[in-house]
């Protein structure tokens, strides 16, 4: 792949960046080299593979005197010959300036403000170039010193609204493969952190000192896992080394944010490899501590979770619907069934024991990952259905097949058997029963599991006539 050294005169983009002579980041192992310009005839990116909406955003920014580059995962995926799902744009315009340019936009975020520009169902995320944090004061310093950025004593960034230049932004990116910029004006790609080299070597490498970067934002450890799983890359040795020791820092990340990260980890088509890496780097212990503890103590637990991950990946590959409720049911089943048996030993009935165990495990789990009720409710129903499926006789057997949660519970039952659990042919019984019954509407493990409960209509009370 041909490359040329960065030179301002070689770029037709408006408001060109100045040459990055000594781009350094505090505690970096080495200085970031000057950007390498990769001309159109030396990279595989074609405008035909880029969203028209993203091209419009970049064009509009440039026409108003701002810089506008396609950046991050979109450039990375296009360089690898993959089609991105999302297109992000980076600019030197502030969020407020971007918002003024696009009536179809809104500013979101507190930790770092970004702009969403909506084109129908498509959203183009526009971010302002980020700056350095060398002068960011710790949280215990006087509040008047905490202006556009806030940093806790541990090093974690609490607010990140520090703007800078294109060069600053390149250094502030988390991984080298995400620090590639595409200019739609002359179709060039700019590489500030040897990202192309890492793409060629199929490795995930963090920009800067790994420990410092993870302390700034512990979620970067999850992102390293996610990109390695998604791209089937290795994590570079220095990038991987501190992860296990700093995994505990995930406990300081807001539980709601970790739920969003969990969806990215397990609901994107590479859940099984992600789960394996989370265990390898001891991150699962801090995301699902009860699950991590039960894996070695509960028979068939690991096989069940891996089977659920594999099933979810296969459904996504087949463009079938999936729901977090199903995969969460698999992840939390081992500690739930373990606690249920302990409660049963005290004399409790199976269903009561299961319900008590489920409530306890879920209550503990939401302190780590804030799972919304719209997922915990169907998850618990899938578990309770495992007891109902034990019944092979009675008037309600046939009617259970029509229950909205039957299909997900049935799929879960089959996974339990596939993981090695002996259920005395229960899966075969319910399979044969369905074959004898009239065909049900098409479905699968996701049917109705992700639906939110519809609000009940309030009955309007008739007004009584006043007494004359």
Distance CA 112, CA 91 (A): 14
Higher pLDDT among residues 153 and 399, named by residue: 399
Percent of the chain scoring above 70 in pLDDT: 80
Confidence class of residue 451 from pLDDT cuts 50, 70 and 90? very low
5 alpha-carbon distance from chain centroid: 35
Catalytic residue list: 86, 88, 174
Query: Does residue 26 register a pLDDT over 50?
Result: no
Burial class, 468, CB count within 10 angstroms (exposed 0-12 / middle 13-18 / buried 19+): exposed
Tokens of 421: 């659990």
Contact 137/127 with Cβ under 8 angstroms?
no
Per-residue pLDDT averaged across 77-96, rounded? 95
Confidence class of residue 439 from pLDDT cuts 50, 70 and 90? low
Domains observed in the chain = 4-253 (3.30.460.10), 288-436 (1.10.3090.10)
pTM over 0.95: no
End-to-end CA distance of the chain: 93
Give residue 137's pLDDT.
46
pLDDT digits (tens, 9 = 90+) for 336-359: 999 999 999 999 999 999 999 999
Give residue 156's pLDDT.
52
Distance CA 8, CA 20 (A): 10
Angle at 349 between CA 346 and CA 354, to 5 degrees: 90
Buried b / exposed e along 23-38 (16+ C-beta atoms within 10 A):
bebeeeeeebebbbbb
Q: What is the dihedral of CA 184, 187, 192, 193, to 10 degrees?
A: 110
Kindly list the distances between the CA atom of residue 450 and the CA atoms of 372, 378, 406, in Å, as whole numbers in the listed order: 11, 8, 14
Query: Does residue 64 register a pLDDT over 60?
Result: yes
User: What integer best gives the mean pLDDT of the chain?
Assistant: 85
343 alpha-carbon distance from chain centroid: 35
Tokens of 123: 């959203």
Which residues, in sequence order, are bridge partners of residue 381?
A: none
Comparing 49-63, 295-309, 348-362, 438-452, which segment has the lowest mean pLDDT? Answer: 438-452
Query: Does residue 301 register a pLDDT over 90?
Result: yes
pLDDT digits (tens, 9 = 90+) for 390-413: 998 877 888 889 899 999 999 999
pLDDT digits (tens, 9 = 90+) for 225-241: 999 999 999 999 999 99
């Amino acid at each position: 792949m041909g490359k040329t050294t960065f030179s301002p005169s070689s770029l037709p983009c408006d408001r060109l960046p100045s040459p990055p002579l000594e781009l350094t980041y505090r505690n970096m192992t080495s200085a970031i080299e000057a950007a390498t310009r990769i001309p159109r005839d030396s990279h595989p990116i074609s405008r035909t593979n880029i969203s028209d909406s993203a091209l419009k955003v970049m064009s509009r920014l440039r026409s108003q005197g701002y810089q506008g580059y396609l950046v991050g995962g979109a450039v990375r995926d296009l360089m690898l010959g993959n089609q991105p799902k999302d297109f992000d744009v980076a600019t030197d315009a502030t969020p407020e300036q971007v918002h003024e340019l696009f009536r179809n936009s809104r500013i979101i975020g507190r930790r770092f403000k970004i702009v969403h520009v909506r084109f129908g169902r498509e959203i183009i995320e526009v971010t302002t170039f980020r700056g350095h944090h060398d002068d960011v004061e710790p949280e215990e310093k006087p509040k008047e010193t905490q202006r556009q950025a806030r940093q806790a004593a541990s090093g974690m960034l609490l607010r990140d609204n520090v703007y800078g230049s294109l060069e600053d932004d390149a250094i502030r990116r988390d991984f080298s493969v995400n620090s590639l910029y595409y200019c739609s004006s002359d179709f060039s790609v700019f590489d500030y952190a040897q990202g192309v080299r890492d793409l060629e070597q199929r490795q995930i490498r963090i920009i800067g000192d790994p420990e410092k970067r993870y302390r700034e934002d512990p979620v970067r450890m999850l992102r390293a896992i996610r990109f390695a799983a998604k791209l089937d890359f290795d994590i570079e040795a220095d990038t991987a080394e501190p992860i296990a020791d700093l995994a505990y820092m995930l406990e300081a990340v807001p539980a709601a944010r970790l739920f969003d990260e969990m969806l990215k980890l397990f609901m994107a088509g590479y859940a099984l490899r992600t789960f394996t890496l989370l265990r390898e780097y001891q991150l699962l212990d801090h995301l699902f501590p009860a699950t991590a503890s039960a894996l070695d103590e509960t028979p068939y637990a690991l096989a069940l979770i891996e089977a659920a991950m594999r099933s979810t990946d296969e459904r996504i590959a087949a463009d079938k619907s999936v729901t977090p409720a199903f995969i969460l049911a698999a992840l939390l089943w081992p500690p739930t069934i373990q606690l249920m048996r302990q409660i049963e030993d005290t004399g409790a009935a199976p269903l009561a024991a299961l319900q008590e165990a489920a409530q306890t495990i879920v209550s503990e789990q939401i302190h780590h990952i804030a799972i919304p009720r719209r997922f915990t409710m169907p998850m618990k129903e899938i578990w309770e259905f495992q007891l109902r499926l034990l019944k092979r006789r009675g008037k309600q057997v046939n009617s259970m097949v029509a229950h909205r949660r039957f299909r997900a519970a049935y799929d879960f039952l089959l996974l339990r058997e596939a993981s090695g659990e002996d259920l005395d042919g229960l899966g075969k019984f319910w399979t044969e029963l369905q074959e004898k019954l009239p065909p049900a509407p098409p479905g699968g493990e996701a049917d109705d599991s992700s639906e939110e409960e519809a609000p009940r209509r309030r009955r309007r009370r008739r007004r009584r006539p006043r007494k004359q």
